[in-house]
Structure 1
């Protein structure tokens, strides 16, 4: 377990840029990981290296051949990292843009009058795309209502709304507002039990940093992540699509290879930095297990990350040392409940009689970075049914420490008055 290995936590933290200090603010605790995780030092170095290379892919010269090899290596690394034996990986503008593209393609190829299904817990990236392209393609959108008390949508919830004419489905792997993880494989099975050929597209953006990625076990057709939320950098997204989604007619250049989904010359550095991320998970797996197989080490890293982040959120909720936890502070309310096994490294709260913006400002003044979520086009689908105008999102990753949690609890406890 990571929390019993302080030397390992130090080694982990040493691999990330700005782990304990902001270049603008100075010393700070970073609990804004759901807005974008810390960046690996190796990613910073790789980004600078490739930013300086003038050559493009697809040319007949040594540098161009090397760039193609680096891209192919990164795609192979991603297939191990996300356990995808078939299909293909490609990069785009962002995770959101890639979700739109996959959902658009599935919708415009669906029979007119058929249905698109999704849930109310989803991020607007997938919900907006599904609503927009269902309307344009002459499809009917079916909403599956999530449980506001648990912050979850389940396979049974989807099953109750399913009919054989559902041709496109969207699933969010984890909510960036509640932090709850959905059982994607079970939901996909419930969908396919009733509509076997449905195209299923998953938003994995919030989930990717917090545990296992195992595409072969999900039975889906599309999966998107945002690399800046899984230890890489801004400026691109990564998608995996199944062979059957690859084969659908889609936006592409005239007479281009039919399997191609990328537009223009992509940044080789973006692919290379994903290899850095995979190498980091591989390294961590070797620290927490005796596994010799690369995929097995990555799985071990995922289990260790999930267990440690659960330890940190438990400390936040139940208290650590002599400090009371969030559940013991009468002025604090925890969204989706104090005891929720679906939680993935995120606790959202409201403070009684104190606007969330004021709480975030106070924490910032104490060097603790968090974020406000408002009942707007990003989070209103989750907060409005709870009667909340906003909340404070405290999001962590496995490089955070119990001491950082204690400092957060100290400040929040002082706000009781």
Structure 2
């Protein structure tokens, strides 16, 4: 089976430069040489990010003081907030830091359900539990109906109409994932927002962009949500920090804050400027990569160019993974492999595939891959994935998730190991 080529690999020389900017790209201090195909669990870390965070963490001066060091901390924080907006393609709004994307989602969802008028809350069956659970919990807490739009098990996407059908004039909040961490598919957020707001212009819309953000450019001026959430450790930075961008309308609602703070203040407690420096390092990296694809000196233009190049590279990886090469078969052609939710082609999705090997439970398959030098993970029927796997009608899946620093040769090696595992069963 062949596919229409829509991806494009980065040059070997540029890919080598990219890989050199990350720690542990092809080995682990614990396991030695390995191929890293578990990016959806947490990406590799940028070397410059780690070094910049270390520098900032060593500084003693705190925000809001009279010293030069304090002023420096404020500048680093301000630039980090600016870089969140730059990354999202938006000028205004409020940047809310949080300990994690889940913490950000729970806070944003609760404030939205509590404050926006309406008697029901809408989400989808494809959500990460930070949205799936929080919408259910707070709908119940505030006496509202919880509605769930189904996803298409053939494609791993939520059809626009399945969301629009359950939105009405009484819907207060719609919370939806941009890219799935189980199926790899991207939802058409722009169309969903547009059509949902035709039915209810006052609807509050929250988008979980954690899995989408590392793989393709985001432009909030196009999709126009009220809140958009990103998790930094999925995007080459570090754990312990995530951001939610809030529209001016959202930021103005009553919310938990110190009484003496300004009305649009959403930060609770003092944040470490190192967290903001971490994110600026990510944006600087994307601009560096983009400078190889555009002559523009504008940082947003560079960032978008870099992310589009990464997206093309990942699509080429996905093509190779699914359809193979003249020398080896891809997952589509391997007898004994079942790949889920990829029936509509390879466009508009990350290089993330959930699959199973015949007669081998997913956890056992993961152990077999790891023993052969491939870092990969399983999704099982637990608090994170049960509601999605139930709809696919499986108890567990093996999840491969690549990134733009993954090489074609690493995909080839994975396919060779997969064929060997099938033969030895």
Query: Taking structure 2 as the reference length, what is the TM-score of the superposition?
Result: 0.96
Is the CA contact (8 Å cut-off) linking 2:379 and 2:396 kept in structure 1? Answer: yes
Correspondence for 2:359: 353
2:297 is matched with which residue: 292, 297, 300?
292
Query: Structure 1 CA distance, aligned partners of 2:230 and 2:82?
Result: 16
1:273 is matched with which residue: 261, 270, 278?
278
1:363 is matched with which residue: 354, 359, 369?
369
Q: Given the alignment of the two structures, is residue 208 of structure 1 paired with residue 203 of structure 2, yes or no?
A: no
Alignment of 1:321-360 (within 5 A): 321-337=326-342, 339-360=345-366
SS of equivalent to 1:164: coil
Is the CA contact (8 Å cut-off) linking 1:115 and 1:141 kept in structure 2? Answer: yes
Alignment of 1:18-167 (within 5 A): 18-111=24-117, 114-167=119-172
Is the CA contact (8 Å cut-off) linking 1:105 and 1:250 kept in structure 2? Answer: yes
Is the CA contact (8 Å cut-off) linking 1:85 and 1:216 kept in structure 2? Answer: no
The CA deviation at 1:215 is 1.2
The CA deviation at 1:289 is 2.4
The CA deviation at 1:110 is 3.0
The CA deviation at 1:4 is 4.9
Query: Structure 2 CA distance, aligned partners of 1:325 and 1:307?
Result: 19
Query: Unaligned stretches of 5+ in structure 1?
Result: none
Correspondence for 2:319: 314
Is the CA contact (8 Å cut-off) linking 1:2 and 1:9 kept in structure 2? Answer: no
The CA deviation at 1:321 is 4.2
Query: Structure 2 CA distance, aligned partners of 1:384 and 1:117?
Result: 20
Correspondence for 1:386: 392
SS of equivalent to 2:291: helix
Query: Taking structure 1 as the reference length, what is the TM-score of the superposition?
Result: 0.97
Is the CA contact (8 Å cut-off) linking 1:169 and 1:198 kept in structure 2? Answer: yes
The CA deviation at 1:65 is 1.0
**More deviation, 170-179/70-79:** 70-79
Q: Which runs of 4+ in 1 moved over 3 A?
A: none
Query: Structure 2 CA distance, aligned partners of 1:4 and 1:267?
Result: 36
String of CA shifts for 1:86-113, please: whole Å, max 9, x gaps: 20212111011001111100111134x6
Is the CA contact (8 Å cut-off) linking 1:149 and 1:337 kept in structure 2? Answer: yes
Query: Structure 1 CA distance, aligned partners of 2:216 and 2:324?
Result: 24
SS of equivalent to 2:169: coil
The CA deviation at 1:133 is 0.8
The CA deviation at 1:154 is 2.3
SS of equivalent to 2:121: strand
